Amino acid sequence: MSPGLLRRLERQDPTAREPAPVVETAPPVAAAGRAPSTRETQPDQPERPRTVGEIIRHVQNRVLSGHAELLAASRHSAEERQRLKAVIARMLVEENLVVRRLTRDALSEQLVSEIVGYGPIDQYIRDPAVTEVMVNGPGRVYVERKGRLERVEAGFRDHDHLHDLITRVVAPLGRRLDQASPFVDARLPDGSRVNAVIAPLSLVGPVLTVRKFPERAMTLEDLVGLGALNQEMAGFLEAAVRARLNVIISGGAGAGKTTLLNALAGAIPGPCERIITIEDSAELKLPQEHVVSLESRPANTEGRGEVTIRQLLRNALRMRPDRLIIGECRGGEAFELLQAMNSGHNGSFSTVHANSATDALARVENMVLMAGEELPHRAIIDQIRSAADLVVHVERYADGGRRLSQIGLVDKEAGPDVSRDRVDLRAVFRFNVTGVTGEGSVDGCFEACPAVAPGWLSAKFRAAGEPMPPPLANETDRRGAGAG
Ligand SMILES: Nc1ncnc2c1ncn2[C@@H]1O[C@H](COP(=O)(O)OP(=O)(O)OP(=O)(O)O)[C@@H](O)[C@H]1O
Ligand SMILES: [Mg+2]
């Protein structure tokens, strides 16, 4: 549907006296004998739907009652969707349903998108170049393309139109949206993430956010191609994954944490390792075959049945995991995560919402404090220092590009100058911004920070039979090089 189409539809009055709807009219098959004109009312027949909203509801009911199977199939197959469109086009002719200035084909397409798709935002949901669609009330729709936000010319008729769409999207997932539960966060069968909020929580009308699931999960190579990191950094991270370092990925909302987590997890050498993933809404898509995916569950409308990430993590520890991957650590589960990382589940990863790599460790500290385990502050700091090995911070820059702004190594060595009150990081790589071009592109370069690897890190790489990746070097290598 073309962008301003819906608005044009809304402006028009279907009862106006102007002649010539673009759709050809035909006699309804039900009416025998003389063909009634489009404007003629039939006293003994139900009134014909006239507004776009009425036509949608009418056709929807007819499709539901007469073509339920085709309707279900057309949600997953472009071919079946075309068949449904043909069925609807036939109905329009049979019942002489017309909307001025809309061809029958355009009206059928609109009806299909309203009935099986996402209505006014359907074209963006189906556009592979769009990664996220955001609807802020009926009149404002934004999409993200290539990391940049733009407003598009799509709109819903009114709050009810948007609310109906949200209800239709979340109902098959066993979720509902009403005054009693005015927001919902769910995952569609194709993996896309849907979040919706309505009044009284939202003051601008229903708000819908759809983060589309990439058809193919991004690998570290893909991220190198997108300029999120360079080849040397990718090599370093791959080696770190093979050497079973514990990694925390930090970043702001939408910075690319889950994407990077997926890419890192994709570098785990299979098939000998048992990987358990735990997420609020299962977004990870791993190439390995020995993967167990667990998903938390919100409470039902009676407030019962909630299963938290923390409970799942506790349970996962009894499932003989080789690697634990926590989609996002945002509460008490931080305590169990540190225990796991410190007790034989090396090579585990998680993400944390934070503004910087150092901030991420402070957030973990706060989350453990909130876990209610009454650990002394010093003990928490010691646990974090010994559990986490690497913090990778990912950022979304002004030009929409996501980049790894820092890869930092946790400072574990307890020298006299090591602070006992916080965990420090040593940068291995960082991204330095040098300027912003006239077109808004961010200029900058990745900087490697060569150093001698601390003893604990050399030991981990040695144990995994993995050479120390640049820009770090083992002490012994350096001495050897110096001697030679
Ligand atoms: N390096 C990248 N280049 C371009 N797009 C990216 C990159 N990394 C991620 N994206 C896209 O950015 C969007 C957000 O990514 P992702 O879901 O990984 O972010 P997030 O930090 O996990 O978000 P949230 O905080 O909501 O969990 C997705 O559409 C993803 O495809
Ligand atoms: Mg995420």
Closest CA to 252 of 359, 136, 163, 155: 359
Q: What's the whole-number mean pLDDT along residues 105-123?
A: 88
Mean pLDDT of 276-294: 91
pLDDT confidence of residue 459: 93
Q: With 0.85 as the threshold, say if the pTM is over it.
A: no
- How far apart are the C-alpha atoms of 161 and 182, rounded to whole Å? 17
- Residue 39 Cα distances to 25, 93, 95, 336, 349, angstroms: 11, 15, 13, 70, 66
Per the model's pLDDT, the better-predicted residue between 46 and 68 turns out to be 68
pLDDT at residue 374, rounded to an integer: 83
pLDDT at residue 101, as a whole number: 75
Average pLDDT over residues 243-270: 94
Q: What is the pLDDT of residue 478?
A: 63
Over residues 245-254, the pLDDT tens digits come to 999 999 999 9
CA of 246 to the centre of ligand 2 (A): 18
Residues 414-465 pLDDT 10s: 665 556 678 899 999 999 999 888 778 889 999 999 999 999 999 999 999 9
Mean of the per-residue pLDDT values for the chain? 84
Instruction: Note the pLDDT of residue 15.
Output: 34
Q: Does the pLDDT at position 350 exceed 80?
A: yes
Q: How confident is the model at residue 104 (pLDDT cuts 50, 70, 90)?
A: confident
Instruction: Tell me the average pLDDT across 291-298.
Output: 91
Bigger pLDDT: 407 or 213?
407
365 Cβ inside 6 Å of ligand 1:
no
What are the residues facing 275 on neighbouring strands?
291, 323
Phi/psi of residue 199, each to 5°?
-60, 150
Q: Which domains does the chain have, with CATH numbers?
A: 5-116 (no CATH), 121-211 (3.30.450.370), 220-483 (3.40.50.300)
Peptide bond preceding 200 in cis form (omega within 30 of 0): yes
The Cα-based distances of 120 to 7, 54, 135, 158, 275 in angstroms read: 10, 16, 10, 12, 40
Span between the terminal Cα atoms of the chain, in Å = 71
DSSP per position, 215-268 = SSPPPHHHHHHTTSS-HHHHHHHHHHHHTT--EEEEESTTSSHHHHHHHHHHTS
The two beta strands, 451-452 and 472-473, are: parallel
400 lines ligand 1 (CB under 6 A): no
Q: What is the pLDDT of residue 419?
A: 62
- Determine whether the shortest distance from the Cβ of 132 to ligand 1 is under 6 A: yes
Q: Going by C-beta distance under 8 Å and a sequence separation of 6 or more, which residues neighbour residue 394?
A: 228, 249, 250, 251, 255, 256, 257, 260, 402, 403, 404, 405
Digit-coded pLDDT (tens) for 203-224: 999 999 999 988 888 999 999 9
Residue, of 418 and 87, whose pLDDT is higher: 87
Our answer on whether the CB atom of 30 is closer than 6 Å to any ligand 1 atom is no
Cα separation, 155 vs 159, whole angstroms: 10
Which residue has a Cα nearest atom 2 of ligand 1?
Answer: 402
**Each residue's pLDDT tens digit, 8-66:** 444 433 333 333 233 333 333 333 333 444 444 444 556 677 777 788 888 888 888 88
pLDDT (0 to 100) of residue 480: 62
Total Cβ atoms within 10 A of residue 42: 12
Residue type, 2: S
| The predicted structure's pLDDT at residue 417 | 59
CA of residue 120 to ligand 2 center, whole Å: 26
**Predicted local confidence at residue 174, as pLDDT:** 78
Q: CA 172, 201, 329, 410 torsion: positive or negative?
A: positive
Q: What share of the chain has pLDDT > 70, as a percent?
A: 87
27-41, 76-90, 180-194, 302-316: which has the minimum mean pLDDT? 27-41
Query: Residue 469 has what pLDDT?
Result: 96
Q: How far is the CA of 441 from the centre of ligand 2 (A)?
A: 24
Instruction: At 388, give phi and psi (nearest 5°).
Output: -85, 135
pLDDT band with cut points at 50, 70 and 90 for residue 244: very high
Q: Which atom of ligand 1 is nearest to the CA of 211?
A: 29
Tokens of 439: 């077109």
* Residue ID of nearest Cα to ligand 1 atom 3: 402
Is the pLDDT at 160 greater than 50? The verdict is: yes
199 residue type, one letter: A
pLDDT at 76 over 90: no
Would the CB of 327 count as within 6 Å of ligand 1?
A: no
Question: What is the rounded average pLDDT of the residues 281-297?
Answer: 91
Name beta bridge partners: 445: 432
Does ligand 1 come within 6 angstroms of the Cβ of 285? no
Distance of CA 175 from the midpoint of ligand 1 (Å): 25
355 exposure class (CB count in 10 Å sphere: 0-12, 13-18, 19+) = middle
